[in-house]
Amino acid sequence: MNNPKPNITIPVDLTNPGQFFACCGLLELADRLWPGAEGWFTPGATFSIFSEVVSCNISAILKALATATIEPLDHDDNASAIRLGLGKVPILLDWWRDEAAGGQRLKTWAGRQSGPQIFKLMAKKIADIAAENADTPFDFSATVFDIKDGKTKKKTISPFYFDSRRAGTGLDVGFSADEQQMSVREFPVVETLALFGIQRFRPRTDESASPRSFVYAAWPQQLPLIPAQGVVCGAVQLPSCEYFRFARPSRGGEYVSMFTRATRERSNNV
């Protein structure tokens, strides 16, 4: 269908890798809930999803994610794969364990941090999103506290650091809020959807860059899930795509890393 009226249109900062991959996660979820959903980016920095099913909307997607069952396959492994009960077929999230296709290179959390726990708490926080935030879900911020033995702790849980807005916090104030055990507001919609989006949508790895960098493409044409996957990593070239490059620098002693703000590529030939 040409020029359809999208069911969903939300603003997105394409230089924020977390927001880009969160859009990919939205498309994946939309296709799971309403098979055949299609997505695309516009020059006005928005991401749209079209489905022939009228009930397709952003609130329904976020509610489905917030109420999904989240189960680590190995409860003793902080890097365990996650089984997500959403829709008719369970979804396996395990890209950070994938050495062959480069997924492990994008892992941002440290060995002592529990990926399944971070995902579960961030997804649960999405349930708190107010109706007025539905039009700008990526700007929804909240303080996410850790939980131990069923009890809420005073310390906030560290995010995945996919959202590059979080990267500047320490530099802005002159110290690490995490190390001082201060309450810091996170972007749970972005953090959760990005973990989901990277399962299928992988950027191209540039090993020649120092430090190693990653390149992703934002597609302007209306595409279903599988073709869009090929465009993101550069396997499929489309006219008018915009390309962005980001790195994943280490945060030193904490042994975790974060996605940097992406730079727009001057040429489509990357």
pLDDT tens readout for residues 185-218? 899 999 999 999 999 999 999 999 888 999 999 9
Binned at pLDDT 50, 70 and 90, residue 270 comes out as very low
Residues 11/19, Cβ–Cβ less than 8 Å: no
The dihedrals phi and psi of 76, each to the nearest 5 degrees, come to -100, 0
Side-chain half-sphere exposure of 87, counting CA atoms within 13 A: 17
**How many H-runs (helices) and E-runs (strands) does the chain carry?**
6, 14
DSSP state of 5: P
Binned at pLDDT 50, 70 and 90, residue 169 comes out as very low
Average pLDDT over residues 60-68: 91
pLDDT tens readout for residues 135-167? 899 999 888 887 765 556 667 888 999 999 975
Q: How many other C-beta atoms can be found within 10 angstroms of the C-beta atom of residue 125? A: 23
239 vs 87: which has the higher pLDDT? 239
Average pLDDT over residues 20-44: 95
Amino acid at 51: S
